[in-house]
Structure 1
């Protein structure tokens, strides 16, 4: 069981979360973060032996990347390519390497249900580094597109988000979409199979949930 977390978003809890996660998805400036926070978060990953991932988003800092933007496949490709290359350069300068790519927010949700967007993202990842793992929602177009191009994939589930009966995430605008206690998180983890579990670093209970999952994963 791997635990991943969205970091480098200016929330201020990255250092506290690092000991309890396995994989970090680092914001690349399009929805949050900048060159300084990327370098800082990469350094933390090295210190705590956390795998480094790119968290590309729509260019939409105003809405934290959580609003879908209509773009052509070529625009999606370039959007992702630029963000992956940016963090790849910073990571290599620090003497380490990238492990994975996980789209953020609306880009993640759009790629899960839109085959054209999913293919554009997967192609950008493969063209930069075919050894990278693409994280995506279980049974989504994201995973299928990546596999069709020969990329390694990790099927992801969300420990701190509610799901609908069709397997999609409950929209954040609806009550109860984001869990508020550890019991809900642990119940979800035990009933869904996934390669990696996400905790949102910007959630008010992120550290509490990460600690609980780490303890669940490695009971004393």
Structure 2
């Protein structure tokens, strides 16, 4: 998405199928669903129900892959060999593809979850493993991640389409990376503030960092967390504010910048 487009277009995504939050309501708001694959959360029945509901509502499906860490909800870093990580990711993508297919849907992209998502921003070995797994399953699958991350750089070099993501309810550092959840102010809680930030991002490509400075943030898709307090209210406020600003809401075309 270019910042100065006359009619901005943005995709709204949310993490679903995790057995927490109000997935039914979120699927009436988002245009893409990052569906858990069972390694950090979600049962086969929950994943099937989520994919079925996404297909019924015309929401794009993505595979949200994770470390094998249900006890920690996938939010703990794990040191893994490339062989083991690739195998785990192939397993998860393949499982969700079969589930989606069974209800008339398809998996269009892959988004790492939690600690894996943050790790592959800079961890070259694990970023390579993610790309290898995705390419081995289906080189047509897009990769969703943060701008300037190792995983997206490797995806582009491998010929995989990419979806650049930003976050509606997370604070950013002046360097343009997410403030760790362990720090004060990392997660935003005011619906109006979140909506204003997303409109600024979608229409100007800029955000105010946690220190008050204004930074450039490129994004094709904006993540609306579905498991935080007030998540549905935040998401509705964001969608309404974007519509009022004339922003078109639809799944982004991977690789189209």
Bucket of the pairwise TM-score, normalised by the shorter protein: over 0.9
Which whole-Å CA distance do the structure 2 matches of 1:47 and 1:103 have between them? 25
Structure 1 residue 27 displacement after superposition: 0.8
Aligned to 1:110: 119
Aligned to 2:190: 181
Which whole-Å CA distance do the structure 2 matches of 1:95 and 1:3 have between them? 22
Structure 1 residue 206 displacement after superposition: 1.3
Three-state SS of the structure 2 residue aligned to 1:113 is coil
Quick one: which of 206, 217, 220 aligns to 2:242? Answer: 217
Q: Aligned ranges for residues 139-218 of structure 1 at < 5 Å?
A: 139-189=148-198, 190=200, 191=206, 192-218=217-243
TM-score (norm 1): 0.96
Structure 1 residue 167 displacement after superposition: 1.9
Structure 1 residue 183 displacement after superposition: 3.1
- 1:27-59 CA-to-partner distances (Å, cap 9, x unmatched) read 111110011011000011011100001001111
Aligned to 1:38: 47
Structure 1 residue 216 displacement after superposition: 2.2
Which whole-Å CA distance do the structure 2 matches of 1:184 and 1:118 have between them? 33
Structure 1 residue 6 displacement after superposition: 0.2
Three-state SS of the structure 2 residue aligned to 1:101 is strand
Structure 1 residue 146 displacement after superposition: 0.7
Where relative contact order (Cα < 8 A, 6+ residues apart) is larger, the structure is 2
Which whole-Å CA distance do the structure 2 matches of 1:166 and 1:193 have between them? 13
- The answer to whether the Cα contact below 8 Å between 2:55 and 2:104 also exists between their aligned partners in 1 is no
Three-state SS of the structure 2 residue aligned to 1:143 is helix
- 1:106-151 CA-to-partner distances (Å, cap 9, x unmatched) read 0000011112111110111111111111001111111101111100
Three-state SS of the structure 1 residue aligned to 2:112 is coil
Q: Find the structure with the greater CA-based Rg.
A: 2
Alpha-carbon RMSD: 1.2
Q: Aligned ranges for residues 71-90 of structure 1 at < 5 Å?
A: 71-90=80-99
Q: Which runs of 5+ in 1 are unaligned?
A: none
Q: Which runs of 5+ in 2 are unaligned?
A: 1-9, 201-205, 207-216, 247-257
Which whole-Å CA distance do the structure 2 matches of 1:145 and 1:73 have between them? 15
Counting matched residue pairs gives 220
Q: Aligned ranges for residues 109-128 of structure 1 at < 5 Å?
A: 109-128=118-137
Report the structure, 1 or 2, having the larger helix content: 1
